[in-house]
Structure 1
Amino acid sequence: MATKFVAYPVVITPEKNNEYYDYLVFLPDFGAYCQANSILGALRVAAKFITNYSMTAALPEMKLELPPASGEQVVTFVNAQITE
């Protein structure tokens, strides 16, 4: 089995009016959202999303460009290990 590492941008936004989750996690290359209760948790759910996505569909091409941040957003890359 071959293993590769991928990196995709994530935008993590504090959720002020959500009683269940503290952060909204957006993966722009996938057009998908996740939720988490910490920044570390946000990175974990984003990596898990990418890994699970790779099991059912081809991953989008990595662009390695960060989208702009606004306000209290955290914008960074998340790495995922993909086993083929």
Structure 2
Amino acid sequence: MTRTGTDEDMSDRNDSSETDHTIRVLATLNERGPCRVIEIAKVLNIHPVPIDRACTHLQQKGLLQRQPGGTYCVTETGRVVLEKQL
């Protein structure tokens, strides 16, 4: 089997993709308001697994808050970070 990239190259691509997902998740929730992972995945046309990972990561950073019923919403800190990204 021939590899087209090193493990480092693949890791960099995954990190970049995950970063892109987190920014897109944050922007989507900021625009639409509270949503479940499956709703975000449909809007972004991305499989729910990376969206769930992104939401968990953003929640751990204090940028999202998980609400009863499994919806996520952007925190004030998340809005500030998003404004700096855009």
- TM over 0.5, shorter chain: no
> Higher relative CO (CA 8 A, sep ≥ 6), structure 1 or 2?
1
The structure in which a higher percent of residues are strand is 1
Indicate the structure (1 or 2) with the bigger Cα radius of gyration.
2
The structure in which a higher percent of residues are helix is 2
Give TM-score scaled by structure 1 length: 0.34
